[in-house]
A = this chain, B = another copy of it.
Amino acid sequence: MQELRRDLAAATRMLVDAGIVGYSGHLSARAGRDRLLIQPVDDVRAQLRPDRLLVVTLEGDVVDGDGQPPSEFSIHTEIYRARPDVEAVAHFHHDPTTVFTLVDGSPVVPVKNHASRWAAGVPVHPDPSHIATAEQGRALAATLGDGYAALLRAHGEVVVAEDVRTLFADVVHFVENALVLASALALGPVTPLSAAECARFNATFHRARHARKLWRYYTTVAAAAGRLPAGWWESADPKADIQQKS
């Protein structure tokens, strides 16, 4: 579980660097049956440490670690309950993406080939409240359905994936797609990627390899900038790294 803790802390710090997480937002990972790993409510995301992460039950009780989970932990627990296929959840507040919750008839549609992940659409949860109860969490999980992302009106985003590193790549692509879409709509009527175009892209897309490539890029750049402590990963030598991860 040390690797999972390190991945979750690193992903959080790198999303701070990318301007996607800030004074708030949190990532979690499933950690065995009916358990998840999540940060304490007030720990500074820019300096999150693996050993600070809490092990929490699906009821939000802390079974290991020091501190309380974020007040919106039900976002995570209720999605894990509803979606056995999900191993990692990100909740964040990226304003330029959240704008799509404020305008009727302007949904998030795929306009970058990597956004083919969300070809089936991105639902908007209509309640702008904080997700403070299990009931609210269940309502959000219902909005998400069997999709991979949802927007929360005037609030933020949820993205889910099969592991932390792939989640990181998905979050980057999700906000990039929203930014492109907003810029394109300023030019005129947009022709989004069709279902056929998305399917064709997905047919040859190697999701795990792509996630590994992004992970490598962002961890290397973050380590060089002193944003990830030396020693979290053994080596920054390109060849060593290729041998180790391929």
Contacts and interface: CB of A to CB of B under 8 A. Distances in A.
Contact of A44 (B23, B104, B129, B221): B221
Contact of A183 (B96, B180, B242): B96
Interface of A: 22-24, 40-47, 49, 52, 66-67, 95-96, 98-100, 102-106, 110-113, 128-130, 132, 154-155, 172, 176, 179-180, 182-193, 197, 200-201, 204-205, 212-214, 216-218, 220-221, 224, 238-239, 242
The 4 closest A-B pairs by CB, nearest first: A23-B217, A99-B184, A102-B184, A103-B187
A176 B95 contact: yes
Most buried by B among A100, A105, A172, A191: A191
A95 B181 CA distance: 10
B128 A47 contact: no
Q: How many copies does the complex hold?
A: 4
Contacts of A192: 102
Given A128-B197, A201-B130, A204-B130, A220 B46 contact: yes
A116 to B, nearest CB: 9
Most chain B beta-carbon neighbours within 10 Å: one of A40, A102, A184, A187:
A102
A204 B52 contact: no
B213 A24 contact: yes
